[in-house]
Amino acid sequence: MVFAVSEIDYRWEDVVLAAFLWNEWAEVVERARLGLALSARADETEAEDGDPAAEEIDAAAAEFRYARDLVTAVEMEAWLARWGLDAESWTAWIRSDLLRRRHSGAPAPVDGKMTEEVVPEAVFTEALCSGALDGFARRLAGHAAVFEMLRESGAEEDRGSAPEPADLPETFPHRILEEWLPGLSPETTRERAAVVARLEQAFHDFGRRVVTPAAVEARVRARQVDWTRLSCRTLLLPREEMAREAVLSIREDGLSVEEVARNAKAAVGERTLFVDELPPGLRDRLLAARKGELLGPLPWDDGFAVVLVLEKTLPSASDETVAKRARRDLLDSLVSREIDARVTWRRSP
């Protein structure tokens, strides 16, 4: 069991079914297949295209553990045992994840050696270790909590102890569900999938009722500062003294950002960012900057930046990008409130 809402239990099978309904399970499968293919290719190629360095794997493994508060070896072993994984499978996932990041955007290799027996295990490991399973569980918990809130308020017809099955979409992959959930009978699978579909239907109805134009306008006003948009020209350099020299060349010598970039053999980029997307240490400085002002050196990613502010735009609900943010932010806050009030977590990744 993953969580309960008003004494109704939801299991990991329900979470997987929900991911199918949202058309997001296929993405997990593809990532797993790509990881397997890249790992197989790395086994057969020279060092240049082969495995990540041992230090890189160790650093990624440590990052994974600390993110989940698995500080000691005993805690890590207990976590693996809880999910039926061994250290070898987990390390293989760390390696494949690093390979995927390294080859991001490159054509996916095709590996004919992969078997259908191997892929399901890799898919489960990918869903668990990537955090996708946890994300699916929280999303489903939000839908279940909203359904219960609607039922209690009378906005949703009282259907007894659990939501009633709804008709599944015609595109729902019944055959694939039987492949990925072999522990459930076809009848039980379809019944649980229909319950998940009922939650989804109620959730969409709820969203249409609460995310009104007036509510969106109010949310934009409340997030006026965070959603101010900055358009900047940025010159990224590896060392602070280089960035400082670049600022002097622009201010004192009258060189353009592009000329300084050519001299430094560095790239210039133009970025449009919302204030809340900036690192906390940069928000106040960039928000206070005037149009046309040059800032720097500023710590940025793993180096230092020289930033020319091109434009500052206050948020407006008539801007579809801002309105989309507002709708999502409004719905997320309402759902989080219902999760906190109604969901009892039993187990999470």
Regarding whether 71 and 147 lie in a shared domain, the answer is no
- Which tens digit of pLDDT belongs to each residue from 243-254? 999 999 999 888
Shared domain for 165 and 234, answered yes or no, is no
Report helix, strand or coil for 238: coil
* Cα-based distances in Å from 226 to 110, 305, 349: 44, 21, 31
Among the listed residues 47, 69, 45, the one whose alpha carbon sits nearest the alpha carbon of residue 56: 47
The CA angle 293-297-300, to the nearest 5 degrees, is 105
| Last residue in a domain, options 67, 99, 133 | 133
**206 and 155 in one domain?**
yes
Same-domain pairing of 92 and 42? yes
Query: For position 260, which CATH number holds?
Result: 3.10.50.40
42 and 128 belong to one structural domain: yes
Over residues 219-242, the pLDDT tens digits come to 999 999 999 999 999 998 989 999
- CB atoms inside a 10 Å sphere around CB 289: 17
Task: Look at residue 49 and tell me whether its pLDDT is greater than 70.
Answer: no
Which own/partner pairs from 149-158 qualify as long-range (CB within 8 Å, at least 24 positions apart)? 149/338, 149/342, 150/202, 150/206, 155/206, 155/209, 156/202
Distance CA 90, CA 88 (A): 5
Task: Return the SS3 of 307.
Answer: strand
Given a cut of 60, whether residue 262 has pLDDT beyond it is yes
Last residue of a domain, one of 92, 115, 133: 133
Domain with 148 in it? 136-216+327-345
160 and 290 in a common domain:
no
Q: How many CB atoms lie within 10 A of CB 192?
A: 21
Cis check for the bond before 297: say yes or no (omega within 30 of 0). yes
Residue 182 has a pLDDT of 59
* Residue 1, domain member (yes or no): no
122-142 residue pLDDT tens: 888 999 999 999 999 999 999
| Within-domain flag for 17 | no
Check residue 314 and give its pLDDT. Answer: 93
Tens digit of each residue's pLDDT (9 = 90 or more) over 153-165: 876 554 444 555 5
The number of residues making up the chain comes to 349
**Is the residue at 182 inside a domain?**
yes
Both 128 and 144 in one domain: the answer is no
Q: Under 8 Å CB-to-CB from 44, ≥6 apart: which residues? A: none
User: In this structure, are 112 and 59 located in the same domain?
Assistant: yes
Please give the average per-residue pLDDT across 90-118, as a whole number: 72
Question: Do the Cβ atoms of 232 and 308 come closer than 8 Å?
Answer: yes
Is residue 210 located within the same domain as residue 240? Answer: no
* 281 occurs within a structural domain: yes
Answer yes or no: is 8 within a domain. no
Q: Is residue 71 part of a domain?
A: yes
Select from 113, 133, 153 the last residue of a domain.
133
For residues 273 and 341, state if they share a domain.
no
Domain count, the chain: 3
* Domain assignment present for 275: yes
Query: Residues 73, 145: one domain?
Result: no
Helix, strand and coil content of the chain, in percent to the nearest 5, comes to 60, 10, 30
For residues 125 and 45, membership in a common domain is answered with yes
Q: Please report whether residue 19 resides in a domain.
A: no
